[in-house]
């Protein structure tokens, strides 16, 4: 089984993205996590990275029922890097039991 997930830069883009895609969406706001924890991607150390990955794991796990009923997973994050996208793909495949995960970056 495969899945398509999306990364958008800002939460306010979610509404227009939802209207364009005409699909049910489930969002995970990575930008908000960084803001709430007073962090930036460049200030991450190994402990903070571990905490972030555990948070992401819990968020994806909690979205399992919505995704299984047809919702598309949308990650709100304004500075995705290749390592982040790889981490995201790995978590989605592992948690949602997919064979493949396609990540689509949506520009502003």
Residue spans per domain, the chain? 2-105
In which element (H, E) is residue 46 found?
Answer: helix 46-62
Cα–Cα distance between 38 and 47 in angstroms, integer?
15
User: Residue 53: its pLDDT value, please?
Assistant: 96
pLDDT for position 107: 77
Rounded distance between C-alpha atoms, residue 59 and residue 64, angstroms: 9
> Do the strands 25-29 and 72-76 form a parallel or antiparallel pair, or are they unpaired?
parallel
* pTM metric for this prediction: 0.87
How many whole angstroms separate alpha carbon 5 and alpha carbon 26?
10
Contact 7, 85 (CB under 8 A): yes
pLDDT, averaged per 10 consecutive residues of the chain (108 residues), comes to: 80 73 82 95 94 96 90 91 93 87 81
């Amino acid at each position: 089984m495969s899945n398509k997930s999306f990364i958008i830069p800002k939460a306010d883009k979610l509404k227009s993205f939802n209207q364009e895609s005409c699909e049910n969406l489930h969002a995970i706001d990575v930008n908000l996590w960084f803001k709430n924890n007073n962090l930036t991607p460049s200030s991450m150390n190994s402990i903070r990275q571990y905490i972030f990955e555990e948070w992401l794991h819990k968020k994806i796990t909690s979205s399992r029922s919505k995704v299984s009923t047809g919702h598309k997973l949308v990650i709100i994050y304004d500075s995705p890097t290749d390592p982040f996208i790889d981490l995201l793909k790995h978590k989605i495949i592992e948690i949602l039991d997919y064979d493949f995960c396609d990540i689509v970056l949506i520009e502003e």
